[in-house]
Each structure stands twice: as C-alpha cells, then as structure tokens.
C-alpha cells in the first residue's frame, strides 16, 4: 500500500460509519441556528414609489384598442431652415469679390462646418481662380469633387491658404477655407482646367473626367485614370448610370 492510500484509508473508514442522512440534517441545524436579519425600518423622508403602469395599458385606449397615430399636417412637420447669416470675415470676402467682378452673384452661404461656399459661373471661373490665388492668398487646392444634381453637373473646388515661410503666421481665427461650386450643362459638360493655377488639380480633374464625364479644357493630359482606356460603358458616378456589362461567373477555388 502506498503512502497516499494509507492516508485515505482512515478517512474512508470514518465515512463508512456515518449514515448518509446525517449530513443534510446537520446542514439544516446550522441554517436554523443563524440569526435572522432585522427588517429595514421605513424612511418617512422617502415616499413610496408608485407602481409603474404597464406598457400595454399605456398604449391602449379605454376600451383596449390602440389609439390612432397622430399625423402632423403637411408643411408643418419641419420648421423652415433659415439661411445662416455670414460672419464679418466672410462678408468682407464677398464684398471684395463683388468689387473685383461686378455683376456676378456669388450666392455666398456658410456650410454647417463654418466653411464659406460660393457659386461661380463657368465662363468666369478662369479669371476668378487666378484672383483667388493671387489676391486672396488661396494657394492650396485641397480637393475637387464632382456632383450630379440630375438637371446639371457641378465641380466643387475646396481651397484654403497655407502660409509660406516669411509670409506671417496663421491668423487667430484660423485658416480661411472656401468651397467654389461651378455648374455645367449636363449634355455638354465643359470647364476650363485650373491645372496652371493649382497643379494639384492634375489627377483630380482626370478622376472627375472618368467618373462624371466633365471635360477640362487646357488640361495637359486629360486621359482616363481609373477606368480602362477602351471603356465605353458611361460614367459610373452619374445617377443615371446603368452597368450593362455581363455578369461574371463566380469562380470558387477547389479545396
């Protein structure tokens, strides 16, 4: 017999002599011997909380039927959004533009993030672009976006000013940001390129040419950028685009 078996043998002998019903009886006696917790006294400063009504009773009427849904009258469900008033900084900018280009309505408004947005006619865009860079200091083109409004196409230019070395520090009110919307005819979308004004427009104008079909006159290399050179299936980001290519068979790798 090993040492472990010798140690377990007395315990087994002691356990054989005890009746199996004695353990539950001892546990019950120990539980009954525990003192009971006193009830928590009621606090007069805290009134009893009323019972919460059932959701079904709340939703149903007096006769148990669901009440009719209230339909707001037409035209009054949403308040008319008033145009946000321009800040003094933006008012001064619009005034300078109107002084330089008399007779042009730039339709100045502010985007929700505080960026000034203007609309420029397509035939004035080349002159306005040079003015914005040379006179207003908007020397950096952040991005160009194409938009399909169904009745027209737009090219949106996001501009800002980046202080160059020796030209001062960033103003306290932050860098000036401008969004320029230029609308074109949907059937003949042609715009002058701003590559000579902001060289960053190179690939971005090519992408809009690919996706929306807007042709930028004066661009040095207006070729397809994302689509294959022989693509003839339309402009993928226009809202009337229909993919007429035959569906490709799905290939599953054998295991």
pLDDT at 14 over 60: no
Burial of 106 (0-12, 13-18, 19+ CB in 10 A): buried
Handedness of CA 138, 143, 148, 149 (dihedral sign): negative
pLDDT at 50 over 80: no
Q: Span 107-124, mean pLDDT?
A: 92
- Distance of alpha carbon 53 from its chain centroid, rounded? 39
**Per-residue pLDDT, 77:** 47
Q: pLDDT tens-digit profile of 69-114?
A: 666 566 544 445 566 788 899 999 999 999 999 999 999 999 888 8
Averaged pLDDT score across all residues of the chain? 80
Report residue 237's pLDDT band, with 50, 70 and 90 as the boundaries. Answer: very high
Going by the DSSP 8-state scheme, the letter that residue 117 receives in this structure is: E
Q: pLDDT tens-digit profile of 132-155?
A: 999 999 999 999 999 999 999 999
Lowest mean pLDDT among 42-46, 143-147, 208-212: 42-46
Angle between helices 88-100 and 125-134 (to 10 degrees): 120
Residue 219 inside a domain? The answer is: no
pTM as predicted: 0.65
Where do the H-state alpha helices sit in the chain? 3-16, 22-33, 55-59, 88-100, 125-134, 201-212
**Per-residue pLDDT, 79:** 47
Residue 142 inside a domain? The answer is: yes
Report residue 38's pLDDT band, with 50, 70 and 90 as the boundaries. Answer: confident
How large a percentage of the chain has pLDDT more than 70? Answer: 66
Residue 130 inside a domain? The answer is: yes
Residue 201 inside a domain? The answer is: no
Lowest mean pLDDT among 10-19, 157-166, 206-215: 10-19
Residue 174 inside a domain? The answer is: yes
Provide the token pair at 148: 């399909």
Residue 227 inside a domain? The answer is: no
Neighbouring-strand partners of residue 148: 153
Residue 157 inside a domain? The answer is: yes
Q: Strand locations in the chain, DSSP E?
A: 109-110, 116-119, 140-148, 153-160, 177-184, 190-192, 215-217
Distance CA 173, CA 157 (A): 22
**Per-residue pLDDT, 84:** 75
**Domain coverage including residue 120:** 88-188
Task: Tally the domains of the chain.
Answer: 1
pLDDT at 47 over 50: yes
220 phi and psi, to 5 degrees?
Answer: -70, -20
Q: Span 199-222, mean pLDDT?
A: 95
Residue 75 inside a domain? The answer is: no
Where do the H-state alpha helices sit in 135-200? none
Give the domain CATH number at 125.
3.30.460.80
């Amino acid at each position: 017999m090993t040492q472990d078996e010798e140690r377990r043998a007395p315990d087994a002998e002691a356990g054989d002599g005890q009746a199996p019903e004695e353990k539950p009886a001892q546990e019950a006696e120990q539980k009954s011997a525990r003192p009971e917790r006193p009830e928590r006294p009621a606090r007069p400063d805290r009134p009893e909380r009323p019972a919460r009504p059932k959701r079904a009773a709340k939703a149903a009427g007096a006769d148990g039927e669901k009440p009719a849904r209230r339909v707001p009258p037409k035209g009054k469900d949403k308040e008319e959004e008033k145009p946000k008033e321009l800040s003094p900084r933006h008012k001064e900018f619009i005034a300078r533009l109107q002084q330089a280009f008399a007779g042009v309505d730039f339709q100045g408004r502010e985007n929700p993030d505080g960026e000034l947005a203007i609309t420029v006619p397509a035939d004035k865009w080349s002159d306005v672009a040079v003015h914005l860079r040379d006179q207003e200091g908007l020397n950096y083109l952040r991005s160009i976006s194409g938009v399909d409004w169904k009745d027209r196409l737009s090219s949106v230019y996001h501009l800002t000013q980046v202080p160059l070395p020796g030209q001062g520090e960033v103003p306290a009110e932050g860098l000036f940001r401008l969004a320029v919307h230029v609308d074109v005819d949907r059937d003949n979308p042609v715009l002058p390129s701003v590559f000579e004004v902001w060289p960053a427009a190179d690939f971005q104008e090519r992408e809009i040419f690919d996706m929306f079909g807007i042709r930028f006159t004066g661009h040095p290399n207006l070729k397809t950028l994302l689509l294959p050179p022989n693509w003839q299936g339309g402009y993928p980001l226009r809202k009337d685009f229909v993919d007429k290519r035959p569906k490709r068979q799905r290939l599953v790798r054998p295991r």
